[in-house]
Structure formats: C-alpha cells, structure tokens
Structure 1
Amino acid sequence: MLINKFIFKAIFVLGFFFFQFEASAQDGPVEIQIDANEELGPMKPIWAWWGYDEPNYTYMKDGKKLLSEIASLSPVPVFVRAHSLLVTGEGTHALKWGSTNAYTEDEHGNPIYDWTIVDKIFDTYIERGMKPFAQIGFMPKALSSKPEPYRHYWKPGAAYNNIYTGWAYPPKDYKKWAELVYQWVKHSIERYGKEDVESWYWELWNEPNIGYWQGTTEEYIKLYDYTADAVKRALPTAKMGGPEVTGPAWDKSEEFLRTFLDHVKSGKNYVTGKTGSPLDFITFHAKGSPKVVDGFVQMNMGAQLRDISKGFEIVASYPEFKHLPIIIGESDPEGCAACSEADYPHNAYRNGTMYASYTAASFSRKYELADHYGVNLLGAVTWGFEFENQPWYAGFRDMATNGVDKPVLNVFRMFGLMEGQRIKVNQENLDYNFIKVRDESVRGVNPDINAIASKTNNSIAIMVWNYHDINDLDVPASTVKLTIDNIPANKVLINHFRVDQELSNSYTLWKKMGSPQNPSPEQIQSLEKAGHLHLFTSPEWKNIGKGKTTLEVELPRQAISLITLSY
C-alpha cells in the first residue's frame, strides 16, 4: 500500500509539472488590446475600503503606521470598518478580540457611556483623512441576554465557534440598546461635526446569518429597526445599512438577505409600527476557499465571485433597491484573517505575490460583475490589516508585518494610480473573462493573463496580471503584447511599476536574509524599502504614431504590472 501511494504521488507530481510545462507553452505572446475611446464608466475606488477584527490595534504603533500608508496611497478618503466597537472591556486586545467599554451600567441599571476608546479609534482615522464605516456592535455585557461567558480566548488552531460568547447575543432591553446607539451618533456629531458624520456609513452587526448573531433572523430584523430608528433620530441625514450577511450563494444566506430586504421594503417596523425601515445601502460578504492539493496551495477565486454574483443578482431583483449603493463588507480569498499559515497551511499564499495577483484579478472582476447586473457597487472591504507584536511573516491575512509592507499592499498602491474612466479591454482572444473565472475559477492549462485600464484627461493606466489558482512559480514568464489605440497625444511618458518575486516584495528579501525573527535595524530599513512600490524600468518617452502604440512585457507567474502613459 505504501508503494502504491508513493507511485500515485510521483505520477501526480510528474503530471502536474507536465501540466505546468504545457501551461507555459503558449503560442506566441498574449495579445491584449485597449481602446482609449471606449469608456465603460467611472473608475470608482471600490478598493479604498479596509476592515479588521481587532479595533485596539488601530492606535498601536504598527497600526497607526499602516493606516498612514493606506491613507497616503489613495486619492480619496479610505473607509475603515472594525468589529467590537461596543464590546465591554478595558481596551484589551487579542486575536479576533477587542473592546472599548463604551457602555456599562451602575448598580441600579442606569447607563454609563464612555466614548474614550471609541474616540481614540475614530480620531486615528480622522487625523489621517480616513472615514469610519461604523459598525454598530457587538453587544455590551450589561445588555446581553446571555452575558456569561462574555470574553473568549481564541487562538489559531482552536475551534472557530469558540469565539461566539456573550457579545453575540440579542439585547435584553431593545430600548436601552437604541438609546446607546442614539447617544453614540449624537456624540460623534458633537466631536466631529455634522457634515463629517453625514459622510460616514453606519451599519449593524456582522454576519448575522452565522454564529456572530446568536439570535434569530427576526430578532436581527427587530434590532435593525431599533438601530436604524436611533441613528436617524440622532441624524436624519445619516447613512444606515445592512445586513452584512456572508455567502449570498448559500441557500440559507440568500433566505436571510431576502427576508431582510422584504422587511425593509414592506414589513411592519418594530419601533414605529409603520411599513418598512430606513435603508441607504446594502452589505454582504464574499469569500474564496483555498486548500492544499498535493503540496500546492490551490485558490478558488470562483467561489468568491459566485458569492458576489449572487449578491448582485439578489439586489438587482428588487427594483426598489437596485439603485442603492452596495458595499461588500468583507471581500477576501478566504474567511479568517487571524488564522496563521502554521495552523492552516492553505494560507501560505498570503506573504508572497499570490495574494497580490489574486487581488488584482479579483477586483477587476468585481467591476465587471457590477456592470453585468447593472448594480451600484460602492466599495469592497479588504479584511486584512496588521497583527501587532506577532512573528515576522506568520502568514496572517494582513497588509504588513511588524511595520513592513507585504507585496499585496503594492497592488492597492497601483489601484491608487488608476483614476478617471474605465476603458475597454478586449478579452475575445484571452483564456479567461469574468464569467469563466466566476464559473470555473482559474484551473485551466493557461493562466489568467488579463488587464484593467483607465484614463484621465492626460493619462492612461493599465494594470496587467499573470494569475493562476495553483501557486507554482516554477514556470517561465509569459510575453504580453499590449496594444493601446486612440491615444490623444503624439508623445507619452511611460512608467512601468511591478510586483513580482524580486520587485516591491519584502518577503523575498526577508527569506534571503535567512528569515530572521529579530532583524537588525539595518535589515528592517532594507525590508521597509523593499516593501514599497518600485519601477520595473526607468521612465521613458515614446513617440506615438496615429494615436496607437504597442508595448511588450515579460510577466512572470503571479506578477502584476502597472503601466502608465502620461501626456
């Protein structure tokens, strides 16, 4: 039996590498054609949204540093969503835990409001020109209908369901909950001003269709009515939404989302007794599903895109809501940012360029799916921040490790250079389009080599990626031939930025250093420099003939290029 297993393994590995050899044996370059005259719509900064579980990391050393970098890469204010903003505790933090002590009660059951820690979190955002995507949750201990046990002590490798403790339960008094919400919004106006708070987004809870909500669907709807009413009483022009369900493609999730939308449209409001509830935007979550297959990480972008597609389809089926902004409240390759690579080997994609190329390819398809369903996609929250005082490159889903940027953050820097109008990328001769990736993921012989492009009055930007669900980098680079037509200039300045195994990649340098867990100050300085976005070639001027030019790029597997033409 052992011999048979060995032979099977050997056959699989040989077959796999033959598959990869065939994948690299494309006939000639991959040709991508872009027409600057064919506008598709605004290049909305749907990527300028971030979130994380641990709110108290916000004002810690590396948290503040990363927030500053995220704010600086975006031409528009970045929105930030964090869990546990109403959780009881003295600002303690741990993996998948945080607290603010915003609400307690005296011995007579009278409310005590303390906004000190919440203010510290929001001040950190506001100081950087960012804006809260204010998550109203979770349940303070004094209001929880099942307060004990209240705090969890989860760690990677432990059962995930252990996190659902007293903070996840409905309130024992909905009116006290509503007053808490009212006081929070009122306090925010007093501290930050009405105009600023009007630009925020307020939402209730997180993933109430799974363990994060230990009540029923109807109890969540009741909580939403009380919450929305309180927000609007404090600020009638505030933007309120929900329900932040996860996995719209799951049957029970679809049922939850539709039940919520039906109530908002025509149900009896628990507070006012009137028909319907306020709803200014709609939220849901979408996650991929990687796994390890015979030693290789195999991503599943299709699973994430199917969730997004189903969520868009559901919203589009309601004429009353189709125009409303949609925020994908968490949009990621899988579901647990705090689950490290050591305990969950399928998370090995996170430190290197696979996370980066996945991000480039998946965000492009979010735009296309929104076009396909005719819905108003406003944002897609990347649930990946940083984990304070953890081992270097521990394999968490984060943007930086110990203050050093990972390759994935440089893709967002690239998106930050893409403004104006999206323009058409001709995909007729390419191996993948958004429908095929949604339905099949990227499992074919050839990789997904594709692009997204934008233009302003004086520039064109093209992001190109070479992505495959199988994280094998030992394949030759692909030649990509870009043809850009209808360039309104006779001469352009070309800048070529790159994320690959060498450039804009602190992780590769760290491994070359010997993977130190206590790098020297000089090593840290080198890692920080390597973590920034770098040019692949020197800037060059190029003459344009008849408004058209062709560029050839050698693009390695899991690499991303951003090429800008300025005029």
Structure 2
Amino acid sequence: MKRLLSAVCLAAAAPLGLAASPAASPAASPAATPSAASTPVRLTVDASQSKGPMTPIWAWFGYDEPNYTTAPNGKKLLSQIATMSPVPVYVRAHNLMTSGDGSHALKWGSTGMYREDKDGKPVYDWTIVDAIFDTYVERGMKPLAQIGFMPEALSQRPQPYQHSWKPGVPYEQIMTGWATPPKDYDKWAELIYQWVKHSVERYGRKEVESWYWEVWNEPDGHYLIAPDTKREYFKMYDYAADAVKRALPTARMGGPHTAGAGRFMDDFLEHALRGKNYATGKTGSPLDFVAFHAKGQPRVLDGRVQMGMGIHFQRLDQGFALVEKYPELKGIPVIVGESDPEGCAACGMQTNPENAYRNGTLYASYTAASIAREYDLAARRGVNLIGAVNWSFEFEDQPWFAGFRDLATNGVDKPVLNVFRMLGMMRGERVAVGGDQAYDAAAIQAGGVRGARTDINALASKDKRSVAVMVWNYHDDDIVDAGSPVELHISGIPARRVQLRHYRVDQDNSNAYTAWKRMGSPANPTPAQVAALEKAGALAQLGKPGSLKTPDGKAVVRMQLPRQAVSLVTLTY
C-alpha cells in the first residue's frame, strides 16, 4: 500500500521523516480517481504577521430537537463539544416553548412550559426546559435562547398542533399550530418575562447576562403563519424584547434570524433602529446583536454530489452587507444563526441524494474551508462576526450513518467533528497565510471551487506557546484521490526549538465511516465493533511528536494531502 509521508525540515536542511499513514483508497469514495499531481503546492505562514483575533466563531451549534439534549448520546456529544472548545460553546435549539411532554421526533421537540387552567389562567412548568439548560450550564455551555415556538394555549390556530413530518414529505407540512403568532400578546409577553425571571433565579444574574436571547426562527420563511408575516414578527419581537429587558435589563436581545438576507431583514433592522415599537410606543426596539442564516446549495451532477459553497458565501456576504449599511450597527455583534452546506439537517440522503456528502470527508473539508473564509468575508464588510452556528447535532433512534447532517451517529463521531477538534486547538491571533493554489473568499463567492484546480489553503494561528496551521484540500465535487504534495513554509516562529504534531482527517484517519463500511456496513454493530468505530472516529495523530530546532524561526512541513482531507500541524514551544 502507498504511504503518505509527513516530514519536517529546517528551511535549508534535509527532511526529517516523522509519520506515515495509508493513502486514500479509491473504493472509499463513490467517485475516486488517481491523482496526477506531482509538483508540490507551496503554502506560506508568517507567524509574525497578525490578521486579527482567532475568534472562535465555530464554537456555536444548533438543532431542531431540544429533547435530544438530555438523551444519553446527546449528553455525550455535548460533553465532547464542550471539552474541545477553549471558550464556552453557545447552543441554539428550536421548540423551547412548544407544548408537549418532551418526546422527540424529527424536527420536533417540546418543553410544555405553558398551559392554562379551566379559567384561562397561566400555568408555568419549567421542568423540561430547566433539564435542557442544566445540561448546557453543567458543561460550561451557554444558550442562544430561542423564544419559540407558540404554546398550544396561545396559538391562533391550535389544531392540528404537532406535525407528523418525515423525510420525503413536502416541507410545508411541518407548519401546524405551533407556527402562529400569539392570540394574546400580553399573556405571551408575561410568559417570556416569567421564563427569563425564573432563569435568573435558577442560574444567577451573571450567568444569564452571558446568554443571548432571540425570537423565533426564519420568520421570512415557512416558520411563521400570518396574513402579514412581517408586521406580526416585528410585533412579536417588540413584545418579547420588552419582556426580556423587564426581567433582566442587562440581557442581550437580538435577531431576526431570517432564512436569508433580503428585504425582510432590511426592514427589520430599520424597524428596530427607527420604527415605532409595538409594545412601548417608543422609537426603536432593543437590538444587542444581529443574526441571520446563510446556506449553500449542493446538487447531484453526473452522478455525484457537487457542493454549492459559492452560494453559501454569496448569502453570507448579503447579510454582512445589510449590517454594514446601517452606521448605527457599526461594531454590533453579528451571529450567523445557521451556517451550513444546505438547509435541512433531518433530510437524509435516501430522500435527498444531494446530501450524501454528510458521512465522509467532503463535509469535513467543506467545513474547514468555509469557516476559515468567514473571517475574511466579515472583515471585508467591517462587521463584528462573533459566531457561525453549525446546525448539526445528533439524531436519536436512527440507522447508522443514515445521511443526516449530524456530528455523530449512535454515539460514534463522524469525520466532521474532528475538524472542530482541530479548530479548538487554534488560539490567540490569526496570522498571515499565502499559497500558490489557494482560492480566496471572493473567488469562491463568484464561482465556487470548480474545474481542474482544488482549493489547497490554510488557516493559521499563534499564541504565546504555539503556532497551529490547519490545511485542507477542498473541491466542490465529491471526488477523493491521492491529492497533492504540499510544502508548508512557516516563518516568524518565536522559539529555537519546537515540538511538532500532525493530525489528519482523511479516508483512513479520524474516519469512523470508512471503518464502518469496511466492516460491511452492519445495521447493528456488535459491542466490539462499536468500540472499534469509536476508536476510528477519534482525532488521529500521524506518527509520534517530533522535536525540531528552529534557530532562525523557520520550518518547512511536507505532506501528501489527499483531496477532501484536512490536516492540523501544531508547533509548540
């Protein structure tokens, strides 16, 4: 079997071999071809040239089904996510106010926090939502707390209330009684006030001050049913924001979490800044952060998946441009409330073949390449991007590797989760990167990563004790091959000796999916097989750590980087 050589050398010295790993196997991908690349791709990292803070915009996650939070696999995954981040992770979940007994289903969850007695008086029950938020807080995580959806007793059209949607069914059928504005705004505002007040009593003022509060989800899409959706959402936001601030004046409130950055979002920003407040009659509404969603658009072309990163970037830029438009919003925190390759986490590849990217390394390389460019897209518009929510978690009671957009399957990590582990090792300042086969954000926004050339590029950081460089070989087309040799030239290392480690996500490393397929894709893996899959899914290090002299502050790392693979090289001192 071919071997991929990971080697390091001084800038003018002979290479020192460090580690080896198996080459990508053509059988591991639905579309694989041999690579003809032989000339090394050169990447440069200047650790002395800062590009701004390494803001952990990736440390934000979300999902539709809040009751997965307290399931065993949900708790396990949340613990892993919390552990790998250097800062508290923010979590956004739908259905935190939805009526029900806490049972979960695809795109469904509930907390039953509100009902009314026979006389129409409110009855509050925080049991389930407390269990969800307890799970976050116990792990040092924080809610991006969504005020939604509408409790049955407050719905304008309560029946039918719970939907029965499943993959393959038209998406619009999901919108049942939970998707209306309140029939009584005063009762709805009082519910929100009581919820925030209870949260302060349970978790403490300082803790809740560190959360973010927002209203609803994608009111410009299918999620809000009303004759005048825009007017009703603005009214809902005003009443909710007033209630949150009455309960905790220092709470952070924002929105609108629109599906796109179009007229609806623009009109909302105008209303929040200059419009008449429906709840107070004053001018404007509290707006402590701005949030919108941006998605890509994969398709099946010539029998294989082709990702739509260019469309994803266009939508990100449209949102950043709207924030840039308003001088009053200069410096305001911006959160991309959902930032993903496409729009339906619960639509598996069986019903949506374009989603077949999710189990393997294409999702991993897409995630690395897209998150790295979000820094550049935000900087170009001068906006303060603090978070980009990855809308993927885990799905209970589903087949192994069923093609949902998730981070783990049945408690076993998927390759994409290891990209977040890599990002968690990157601290301090982002530093300058250059390359001779690198796309920039503008080029991807204009046309994606198509044609003969792949995107071989890097994101690099430096803190007081380390330099970290994440390198990827990405292409929109779902093809895996042996890739290209890469030379990583690092300068500005503030030490005379470093310890080098090399981590890898590819077909044979940090990849439980290929391990599962090699087992014969068992529908019910044995305990021994599950243990093997858990081991295969962990972040893999190529070889042993190596010690390297860097008297001139320079080093060269050489590697063979397969297509759709991601490497992290760390130099510690």
* TM-score relative to the length of structure 1: 0.94
SS at match of 1:271: coil
Distance 2:542 2:446 in 1: 34
Distance 2:326 2:521 in 1: 52
The residue type equivalent to 2:331 in the other structure is H
How far does the alpha carbon of each residue in 1:355-382 deviate from its partner, in whole angstroms, 9 at most, with x for none? 0000000000101111111110010001
Match of 1:507 among 513, 521, 526: 513
How far does the alpha carbon of each residue in 1:485-533 deviate from its partner, in whole angstroms, 9 at most, with x for none? 1111111100000000000000111001111111111111111111110
Paired residues for 1:406-421 under 5 Å: 406-421=414-429
SS at match of 2:462: strand
Distance 1:198 1:466 in 2: 41
Unaligned runs of 5+ in 1: 1-16, 249-253
Partner of 1:294: 302
Paired residues for 1:381-530 under 5 Å: 381-427=389-435, 429-473=436-480, 475-530=481-536
Q: Does the aligned pair in 2 maintain the 1:453–1:463 contact within 8 Å? A: yes
Q: How far off is 1:553 after superposition?
A: 1.1
The residue type equivalent to 1:542 in the other structure is L
The answer to whether residue 108 in structure 2 is matched with residue 97 in structure 1 is: yes
Distance 1:487 1:127 in 2: 38
SS at match of 1:33: strand
SS at match of 1:498: strand
Distance 1:388 1:409 in 2: 17
Q: How far off is 1:471 after superposition?
A: 0.5
Q: How far off is 1:223 after superposition?
A: 0.6
Partner of 1:264: 272
Q: How far off is 1:545 after superposition?
A: 4.0
Distance 2:343 2:239 in 1: 29
Partner of 1:220: 233
Match of 1:312 among 309, 314, 320: 320
The residue type equivalent to 1:115 in the other structure is W
The answer to whether residue 157 in structure 2 is matched with residue 125 in structure 1 is: no
The answer to whether residue 153 in structure 2 is matched with residue 145 in structure 1 is: no
The answer to whether residue 118 in structure 2 is matched with residue 107 in structure 1 is: yes
The residue type equivalent to 1:543 in the other structure is K
SS at match of 2:329: coil
How far does the alpha carbon of each residue in 1:176-208 deviate from its partner, in whole angstroms, 9 at most, with x for none? 110000000000001101010000000000000
Distance 2:126 2:451 in 1: 53
Distance 2:483 2:287 in 1: 48
Distance 2:192 2:156 in 1: 17
Q: Does the aligned pair in 2 maintain the 1:88–1:100 contact within 8 Å? A: yes
Q: Does the aligned pair in 1 maintain the 2:31–2:304 contact within 8 Å? A: no
Unaligned runs of 5+ in 2: 1-29
Q: How far off is 1:19 after superposition?
A: 12
Partner of 1:38: 49
The answer to which of 264-273 and 391-400 deviates more is 264-273
The answer to which of 486-495 and 353-362 deviates more is 486-495
Q: How far off is 1:543 after superposition?
A: 1.4
Q: How far off is 1:430 after superposition?
A: 2.6
Partner of 1:56: 67
SS at match of 1:320: helix
Q: Does the aligned pair in 2 maintain the 1:20–1:445 contact within 8 Å? A: no
Q: Does the aligned pair in 2 maintain the 1:19–1:445 contact within 8 Å? A: no
Q: Does the aligned pair in 1 maintain the 2:98–2:152 contact within 8 Å? A: yes
How far does the alpha carbon of each residue in 1:22-72 deviate from its partner, in whole angstroms, 9 at most, with x for none? xx4446111111111110111001000000000111101111111111111
Q: Does the aligned pair in 2 maintain the 1:66–1:400 contact within 8 Å? A: yes
SS at match of 1:270: coil
The answer to whether residue 208 in structure 2 is matched with residue 197 in structure 1 is: yes
Distance 1:500 1:480 in 2: 15
Q: Does the aligned pair in 2 maintain the 1:431–1:446 contact within 8 Å? A: no
Distance 1:482 1:319 in 2: 41
The answer to whether residue 248 in structure 2 is matched with residue 241 in structure 1 is: no
Distance 1:549 1:80 in 2: 39
Partner of 1:563: 569
Distance 2:493 2:70 in 1: 45
Partner of 2:3: none
Q: How far off is 1:258 after superposition?
A: 0.8
Match of 2:541 among 521, 535, 545: 535
Distance 2:274 2:166 in 1: 43
Q: Does the aligned pair in 2 maintain the 1:35–1:486 contact within 8 Å? A: yes
After TM superposition, where is structure 1 displaced by more than 6 Å over at least 4 residues in a row? Answer: 17-21
Aligned residues: 542
Paired residues for 1:317-356 under 5 Å: 317-356=325-364
Q: Does the aligned pair in 2 maintain the 1:141–1:147 contact within 8 Å? A: yes
Distance 1:547 1:260 in 2: 51
The residue type equivalent to 1:165 in the other structure is T
Q: Does the aligned pair in 1 maintain the 2:288–2:332 contact within 8 Å? A: yes
Distance 1:18 1:165, change over 3 A: closer
* TM-score relative to the length of structure 2: 0.93
The residue type equivalent to 1:452 in the other structure is L
Distance 1:142 1:464 in 2: 52
